Amino acid sequence: MIATTIKRIHLDQIKAGDKHIDYRAYNAFWQRKIEGKLHRAILFLCGRTVEVYAIEKIEVVPTPEDLREIIPDPQSYAIHLGGAHSLAEASENVQEESQE
């Protein structure tokens, strides 16, 4: 499972079903978190709010033009989000991921 912070506006868009892909920079920090691992869920931390979503797939894509101010890298990770999970389901996924 990936754990990361997120701004309220973006989390609200995900919860409303308006945002289905979360983009992250293609840099050493995110490569260590993502590369060579099987991730089934992403845990978003926003203040005291914690939301967990399934990960359908992660791919490296050209950074969208509208995100260039936030992600200056020419490429970024596109994390395709599935449905919401409970924290209990996320914990089970973490245990399964560590066994694989």
Give residues with Cβ within 8 angstroms of 26, minimum separation 6.
60, 63, 73, 75, 76, 77
Maximum CA extent, the chain:
39
Q: Could you tell me the CATH number of the domain that includes residue 39? A: 2.30.130.30
Give the span between the Cα atoms of 39 and 36, in whole angstroms: 10
Question: What are 21-58's pLDDT values in tens digits?
Answer: 999 999 999 999 999 999 999 999 999 999 999 999 99
Tokens of 85: 């999970």
**Residues of the domain holding 6:** 2-99
Average pLDDT taken over every residue of the chain? 90
| pTM of the shown model | 0.86
pLDDT in tens, 9-28: 999 999 999 999 999 999 99
Burial of 91 (0-12, 13-18, 19+ CB in 10 A): middle
Q: What is the mean pLDDT of residues 87-93?
A: 66
The total domain count for the chain is: 1
